[in-house]
Structure 1
């Protein structure tokens, strides 16, 4: 992004901000999907991220390269707030009387359900990490930011990013090894392990292309 466009965003130019959305909404969406394990919630995170970016446009530095680290830093804060809201919501639901679940067996939902299950499994593994380590892993590994860009997103020193990423990778390798050992144990009555694939829902992602 050239400096004139950055200056236009700082000044509140809606056209320049629309260009920013077109350039980075898909990357923010992918980041949000992995952070929430929920396609619909990820769309909400994208909306909230760009609303907050518009509100904070005046805080942009006059100089710099890509604005993606800035956007992902905002998205990280939105994800934190979303997680807190989700915990409060689950706590409220836990206080309600239980209802009998009615399963939906529509064939067209099967792929979406499998994707959601796999995303949830990935999120459970990441949940075993410290929050700071998890956020660095998502930014550097899943979103492809370098150390400096991730440090800018989170407002921490580059050395902190390096140490957190190293710690996250070490912890995830240990978790993967543990899962592998569990899968090598004798099979249950079914004699099979179910394995799914993680592929984003095209119908949802198309709007961010």
Structure 2
């Protein structure tokens, strides 16, 4: 059994295949939802952030160039941008200070902890790799922009991101295999 590549899913979306969007959603919605919980405290905001990220993917599929084999880093940046652009980042309240009906849903703390591990993993990378991850994955720069800023070739940036993405993917995604 072969798994469809993200590249082929994005190309199918660019051709108007709505089922390709559904496949991308099935593949990455759980990860984006966990990430969105670190950006927003309200279930409706989280759902809207995730929906907006996939809507942006649909709208930009025809111009999106995946320099690697996954769309996940791009989706995480888009997700973060939607959250912050809409001003959804709220002051965090401790769960024990909230009425029970307003407490974060089960798994919220786990998602925050998982993201803390991702940030820790990025911080533990060698300086150049850390800076590349910050530029590409956190600040939303393209590989070409990061290469120019750091005085590297696009291939070198792509190779380092690919290697570090594999490492970070283990932290971000559930180990389902």
User: Normalising by structure 2, what TM-score?
Assistant: 0.52
For the pair shown, the structure with the greater C-alpha radius of gyration is: 1
Change (3 A) 1:71 1:13: same
Is the CA contact (8 Å cut-off) linking 1:24 and 1:68 kept in structure 2? yes
Is the CA contact (8 Å cut-off) linking 1:32 and 1:46 kept in structure 2? yes
Uncovered stretches (5+) of structure 2, i.e. residues with no partner: 91-97, 151-177
In structure 2, C-alpha distance between the alignment counterparts of 1:143 and 1:42, rounded to whole Å: 24
Name the SS for the 1:12 alignment partner: coil
Larger RCO of the pair (alpha carbons < 8 Å, separation 6+): 1
Q: Which residue of 1 aligns with 2:156?
A: none
Q: Name the stretch that deviates more: 16-25 or 62-71.
A: 62-71
Alignment counterpart, residue 141 of structure 2, candidates 134, 138, 155: 155
In structure 1, C-alpha distance between the alignment counterparts of 2:11 and 2:70, rounded to whole Å: 13
Shift of 1:52: 1.6
Shift of 1:27: 0.9
Is the CA contact (8 Å cut-off) linking 1:7 and 1:62 kept in structure 2? no
Aligned pair count?
A: 120
Is the CA contact (8 Å cut-off) linking 2:39 and 2:83 kept in structure 1? yes
Name the SS for the 1:37 alignment partner: coil
In structure 2, C-alpha distance between the alignment counterparts of 1:143 and 1:24, rounded to whole Å: 21
Q: How does 1:36-55 map to 2 (within 5 A)?
A: 36-55=40-59
Q: Which residue of 2 aligns with 1:115?
A: 104
User: Normalising by structure 1, what TM-score?
Assistant: 0.45
Q: Which residue of 1 aligns with 2:119?
A: 141
Is the CA contact (8 Å cut-off) linking 1:69 and 1:150 kept in structure 2? no
Q: Which residue of 1 aligns with 2:163?
A: none
Q: How does 1:169-184 map to 2 (within 5 A)?
A: none
